[in-house]
Structure 1
Amino acid sequence: MPEPDRPYRPIEDYALIGNGHGAALVARDGSIDWACLERFDAEPIFSRILDRLRGGYFALRPEGAFEAERLYLRRTNILSTTFTTETGVVSLHDFMVAPEDGARHPHLVRLVTGVSGKVPMVAIYRPLRGFAEAFEPLEAEDGHVTAPGHPRLAADVPFAIEGDCAVARFSIDGAEDHSFALHAEGERPLRPDARDLLEMARRAWAGWTAGAAYDGPLSDALTRSALVLKGLIYEPTGAIVAAPTTSLPEEIGGVRNWDYRFCWIRDACLSFYVLKKFGMVAESEAFFRYVCSLSEREKGGLRPLYAIAGESDLSEHAVPHFEGWRGSSPVRYGNEAADQHQADAYGQLLDLLYMYHRLGGTIPDAAAARARHLVKFSARHWHETDAGLWEPRKPEKHYLHAAIMNWVALDRAIRLFGERDDWCAERDRIVARVNGEGVHRDGYYPQYIGSNDVDAALLIAPMVDFPVDEAVFARTVDVIIERLGRGPLVYRYLNDDGLPGHEGTFLICAFWLVDALAWLGRIEEATTRFAALRALQNDVGLYAEEVAEDHTFLGNFPQAFSHLAFIHSALVLDLYAHGGRAAVRGTYADRTLRETDERRAPRIESPRG
């Protein structure tokens, strides 16, 4: 029973559930249209978000017309959807269960409960392994639906096979409930009580959020973003995926469709800062170990991104028979940007090590040795071209952002390991170049030396404590607002990047602008923009990677970097409110150690050697 008349849902129509291993997206109408259950980067079992006819899905909804409202249970990642129909009201709870050794818990649970009246319901289970071209035949028996290579669906209502779907039709009265659970393929699972699992999940999330160190303004909103980040952390390694999806486009009908189910090094320091500042101690420690393990094993330079278990082969492939969300093809898995040289990664790693050290941690010897090697490389090669952090498919350039991040690498190495003549000399040369020939004749910092174009990446310069010329930086901010700004939104750049088409505005850039304005003391502008950006969240508090000028969500969803930037900007504004411009200046480590509302700054509790 496929649903050929169901159109693609807007990206903002989805909500995330996860368990620290995999994740799923649930649409407002009760359909799970994307899910990778065992690993974020595993083959999807549901993929209708990328092809409304060929993709797999798991729908659960009233049979007739309905209205839907949804929310997350407070301080959890448990999604609650309420369906209101002419004959009654039902609620649906969707959540994932953390794997436990020796337990046969399901990966994903759906619990539907009658609230009032009597409501006819339908459940449609149509799994597809990866991006296969054909559906495996399903078998339904005794409340179980199975197929080779697919999770086992266990339910307390009977299913019948209709074509390539398993379908259950049932009615639900007030106070009655029915459950559906997806288990790993293989051993016949136990059928635990779904209400017990729901309560177990609720307690686990509530216990985790109770440990949050932040209790300032916007506590609930920031906790929601922290819960998104927690839902995107791969617990076996500590890696943070940029997003749980692939190929949601940067332009509807365009080709800018990338796989984001990997961990980018470029925001390592921002990630650690937010995790640590928010009190996510175990997560920040695990992330630090993950990044250190990557840096220690590489013989050459760092790659821009890695798989969540550290694999470096992220070969990019297209799926020609999938049409993509709203016709945006190709659908891709893997990401060839992993093979690019992005010099900013060195600064990210050294900044991370420096922050860890400042917070009382002991840098592992192997990581320190690797850092020294990378700094030597940075000192020798910073003046060379690189691919840039935005991964354009064009020849390399002398990007100012890369120069600034090489300065960060040298500066943090000097602070960590002591002054060396060559490191100090090259650090000073970078400052001279950026503030000399790097300045456009019209008095702003351009994207790269010799360019007329501007790049929102340069907004981060003062937040990493680079010694910008303040007048030039202020002019840069004004040019970015003039050329790249659209209301509170900001494009990352608008010049040619070697790809056809265009893209939406980047949320992380819009938050960088908030931070830059605060650093300049333009606090009213900063707070106004922040409030407008906060209003762009969807109804359950989630952000995508990009937003179109009409406020339509674009790009992979939900986006870790957008939520990291939202939390960071809120913390910057909080610091400013208590300490003015001085409180937001310096390095990430400086801002982490500053106290707000007499709250103790976070430190490393158990240094690791």
Structure 2
Amino acid sequence: MGKLIEDYGLIGNMVSCALVGIDGSIDWLCLPHFDSDACFAALLGTPDHGRWLIAPKKGEIKNTTRRYLPNTPILETTFETETGVVCITDFMPLTTNEKKVELLRIVRGIRGQVDMEMDIVLRFRYGETVPWVRQTDYGIRAISGPDTVELLTPIPLHGENMKTRSNFTVTEGSYVPFTLTYHPSQEEPRFISDSRAALTVTSDWWQEWASRCYNAHASVPPEWRDAIVRSLITLKVMTFQPTGGIVAAPTTSLPEEIGGERQWDYRFCWIRDSALALHTFLSSGYMDEAKAFREWLLRAAAGHPEQMQIMYGLRGERRLTEEELPWLPGYENSRPVRIGNGAYRQKQLDVYGELMNTTHLARMSQIGSATSWQFQCTLLRNLEESWHYPDEGIWEIRSSQRHFTHSKMMCWVAFDQAVKAIEIFGLEGPLDKWKKIRAEIKTDILTHGYDSERNTFTQTYGHPGLDASLLLLGKTGFLEPTDPRFIGTVEAIEKELIEDGFVLRYRPEESTDGLSGNEGAFLVCSFWLVDAYALIGRHNDAMVLFNRLLSIRNDLGLLAEEYHPGLKRQLGNFPQAFSHVGLIDAAHHLLQSYIPQP
């Protein structure tokens, strides 16, 4: 078996990113952008599908440790051998030109002497295309159609079996830089002349950004503070700086079930996920990110309201055609490997509520705009009728549309926030009409989405199955936290959806979602249970569950989409924005409830 998902660390520059394995191998890198074709795709195949290894020679490693430089996404991996200690620093410098991206690896000798190996296998188009590689006076140049990658290093390189390799030795005080730089083939390359200066500039920028977090003050428990800041940095890394869009995850096709078919491409901007991430940024004190997302949304969703999609590309692209890559065997033989995502054609009514919720918070933070309110009113006029219809729901089922209780609840939230916008801020809108629709939706949910015999709300109208998204009934204000129906729903989910202390989204065997197999526990759902516990006064249970969730992060503080309690490993795309949003929001809730603010 290869590396576990949690064996990877993330580095990035808000244009693209890479996954660096604990063994010193970069197994995933898309250039020049998050959603570009991968030139290192060993994550979903073998080393022959592209990777970049720098490490002590095989058999010589006694111990490996790694860490991020404080408050940055700069990764340090330290290898100890019988003869010495070596440290590799991996990072991606910030760029002002999204077409030209660099990745730096700096090898430093810490103690003694260490024999090293470097093996770089460049394979464009997700591991399928072998580029034309030729040596230069500074390293190598690899060209494949419109894409060119250059490798700069002072050590000698040689070609071997369609790969580029090198063996070198570092001693105490040695400093060996490697720079991988991408540029369009028709343009001239841009080289970083001073790797030390680039490291300092990159570190300083990230540390200043992280220092602005509201909830990083001294009264916060250190482990919580580190978890909050690391999650915020991870979300920022996954923000596409040129447009303000946020990818749901920087990977594709990491499986929700090992060997199963549940794997998807998450390198796009879901309105729901992005809105929740921006809600998190706002509550943490980051206004610029909220403004950038607002502008991205206005551009992406511009047009007829009935044509608003649930997700878009990084720049607002609408066509995200899904296809399979048969030449990649998949992570631990989990097929198919997919790029693109067919869910862009789905209807998911809950996105209206997420949007209105986030824009209301933005308005409360004094960053609303007249254009934004006009856009919201246009969407609400469409929702006045469409809330009656079934949809695919928050979990993007690939079977028939249904009346999901969570979707209806978020439609209620949309009109509730619109009413508040008019009443609190004096904005223009059909107040009485929207109040009436809000009341109609609530009556509809209480009539069709609530099982009075079991004292719980259900996933869909007329079906007994449960859904973890119902944990949001109290947080959204649809019900008071003290309402027996909300407490009953929390208790029902505890009884039916918890496995080994973690919350499932739903039971696939009870809720036909159009796919075979099962999946792990969806991590954001467990964070929602933390919030629900806190709301209903079960403070100790909230703290215990939150600390349990912190304990399953990898050694760098990163979380994937899911966790398998039985296998004790992370599953799904990695790192996952939804999981880190859940962590930050749960921490904020607990801090506001139990820990005195300065």
What TM-score do the two structures reach when normalised by structure 2?
Answer: 0.93
Alpha-carbon deviation of 1:142? 2.3
Give 2:555's aligned residue: 539
Report the Cα distance in structure 2 between the residues aligned to 1:188 and 1:428, rounded to whole angstroms: 60
Q: Cα distance, 1:36 vs. partner?
A: 1.5
Please give the residue correspondences for 1:80-91 in structure 2 after superposition, counting only pairs within 5 Å.
80-91=76-87
Contact 1:392–1:498 (CA under 8 A) maintained in structure 2:
yes
CA contact (8 A) 1:143 1:158 kept: no
Residue aligning to 1:584:
none
1:146-174 per-position Cα deviation (integer Å, ceiling 9, x unaligned): 12133101111011000111001101111
| Cα shift readout 1:542-587 (whole Å, capped 9, x = no counterpart) | 0000001232110000011101110000000011115xxxxxxxxx
Q: Does 1:288 align with 2:304?
A: no
Greater Cα shift, 346-355 or 159-168:
346-355
- 1:271-282 mapped onto 2 (5 Å cutoff): 271-282=277-288
Q: Amino acid of the residue matched to residue 408 of structure 1?
A: V
Map of 1:492 onto structure 2: 505
Aligned to 1:203, the other structure's residue is in SS state helix
In the aligned structure 2, how far is the partner of 1:313 from the partner of 1:107? Answer: 28
The aligned amino acid for 1:79 is L
Structure-2 change in CA distance of 1:281 and 1:358 (3 Å):
closer
- Distance in 2 between the 1:320 and 1:34 partners? 18
Equivalent residue for 2:55?
A: 61
Residue 568 of structure 1 pairs with residue 585 of structure 2:
yes
Alignment counterpart, residue 509 of structure 1, candidates 518, 521, 525:
525
Find 1:521's aligned residue among 524, 537, 540: 537
Listed one character per residue, the Cα deviations across residues 59-103 of structure 1 (whole Å, up to 9, x for unaligned) are 00001321211000111110000000111110000000111359x
Aligned residue runs from structure 1 range 71-470, under 5 A? 71-100=67-96, 107-148=102-143, 149-185=147-183, 186-214=187-215, 215=217, 216-217=219-220, 218-365=224-371, 367-417=372-422, 418=429, 420-440=431-451, 441-467=453-479, 470=483
Measured at CA, do residues 190 and 453 of structure 1 come closer, stay the same or move farther in structure 2, by a change above 3 Å?
A: closer
Which residue of the partner structure matches residue 474 of structure 1?
487
Aligned partner of residue 320 in structure 2, secondary structure: coil
Q: Distance in 2 between matches of 1:540 and 1:528?
A: 21
Q: CA shift at 1:481, angstroms?
A: 1.2
The alpha-carbon distance between structure 1 residues 206 and 535, as it changes in their structure 2 partners (threshold 3 A), is same
Q: Tell me which moved more, 438-447 or 505-514.
A: 438-447
SS, match of residue 9 in structure 1 = coil
CA gap 1:459/1:261 in 2 versus in 1, 3 angstroms = same
Q: Distance in 2 between matches of 1:190 and 1:225?
A: 31
Q: Is the 8 A contact 1:69 1:81 kept in 2?
A: yes
Could you say what secondary structure the match of 1:378 adopts?
helix
Does structure 1 retain, via aligned residues, the 8 Å contact 2:112–2:171?
yes
- Is the partner of 1:314 in helix, strand or coil? coil
Using the TM superposition, give the Cα deviation of residue 298 of structure 1 relative to its aligned residue in structure 2, in angstroms. Answer: 4.4
The superposition leaves residues 488-514 of structure 1 with CA deviations (integer Å, 9 ceiling, x where unpaired) of 311100133110111111000000010
Q: Which residue of 2 aligns with 1:46?
A: 40
Q: Please, which moves more after superposition, 107-116 or 472-481?
A: 472-481
- 2:496 aligned counterpart, secondary structure: helix
Answer yes or no: is the 8 Å Cα contact 1:8–1:52 preserved in 2: no
Q: Structure 1: how far apart are the matches of 2:287 and 2:52? A: 36
2:9 aligned to which of 15, 28, 45:
15
Question: In 2, distance between residues paired with 1:188 and 1:295?
Answer: 35
One-letter identity of the residue aligned with 1:325: Y
Q: Which amino acid aligns with 1:532?
A: R
Q: 1:253, 1:170 → 2: CA distance?
A: 39
SS across alignment from 1:463? coil
| C-alpha contact 1:54 1:322 (8 A) present in aligned 2 | no
Q: Name the stretch that deviates more: 545-554 or 83-92.
A: 545-554
Inter-partner Cα distance in structure 1 for 2:275 and 2:101: 35
Deviations 1:573-607 (A, max 9, x none): 011115xxxxxxxxxxxxxxxxx615xxxxxxxxx
- 8 Å CA contact 1:353, 1:363 repeated in 2: no
1:350-390 CA distances to partner (integer Å, 9 max, x unpaired)? 2222222122233232x322321221222222122111110
CA drift at 1:55: 1.3
Give, as a single letter, the amino acid of the residue that structure 1 aligns with 2:199.
L
* Aligned match for 1:557, one of 570, 574, 579: 574
Question: 2: CA distance between counterparts of 1:259 and 1:445?
Answer: 31
* Counterpart Cα distance in 1 of 2:304 and 2:269: 16
Q: Distance in 2 between matches of 1:571 and 1:499?
A: 35
CA 1:268–1:243 in 2, change beyond 3 Å: closer, same or farther?
A: closer
Secondary structure of 1:138's partner?
strand
For residues 21 and 432 of structure 1, what CA distance do their matches in structure 2 show? 46
Structure 2 residue aligned with 1:70: 66
Aligned CA RMSD, in angstroms, stands at 1.8
Structure-2 change in CA distance of 1:130 and 1:70 (3 Å): same
- Distance across 2 between alignment mates of 1:241 and 1:10: 22
Would the aligned equivalents of 2:39 and 2:127 in 1 still touch at CA under 8 Å?
no
Letter in 1 for 2:468: A
Change (3 A) 1:191 1:474: closer
* 1:597 and 2:597 correspond: yes
Aligned residues: 573
Task: Give % identity.
Answer: 35
How far apart, in 1, do the equivalents of 2:413 and 2:69 lie?
41
Bigger mean CA offset, 451-460 vs 195-204: 195-204
Say whether 1:34 aligns with 2:35. Answer: no
AA at the equivalent of 2:395 = W
Greater Cα shift, 77-86 or 217-226? 217-226
C-alpha distance in 1, partners of 2:178/2:22? 18
Deviation at 1:445, TM superposition (A): 0.3
Relative to the length of structure 1, the TM-score reads: 0.91
Question: Which stretch of structure 1 is more off in the superposition, 479-488 or 111-120?
Answer: 479-488
Instruction: Provide Cα deviations, 1:303-353, integer angstroms capped at 9, x if missing partner.
Output: 111111111110001001110000001111100001001111111222222
Aligned equivalents of 1:405, 1:189: Cα separation in 2: 48
Counterpart residue identity of residue 169, structure 2: S
Counterpart-to-counterpart distance in 2, 1:189 and 1:266: 37
3-state DSSP of counterpart to 1:58: strand
Pair 518,191 (structure 1): closer, same or farther in 2 beyond 3 Å:
closer
Structure 1 residues 412-421 or 448-457, which shifts more?
412-421
Deviations along 1:425-479, whole A, 9 cap, x unmatched? 2211111122233211311000011111000011112211113682111111111
Tell me the distance in 2 between the aligned counterparts of 1:268 and 1:188. 33
Deviation of the 1:107 alpha carbon: 0.9
- Preserved CA contact (<8 Å) 1:302 1:346: no
Could you tell me how far apart the structure 2 residues matched to 1:405 and 1:352 are?
Answer: 12
1:213 deviates by 2.1
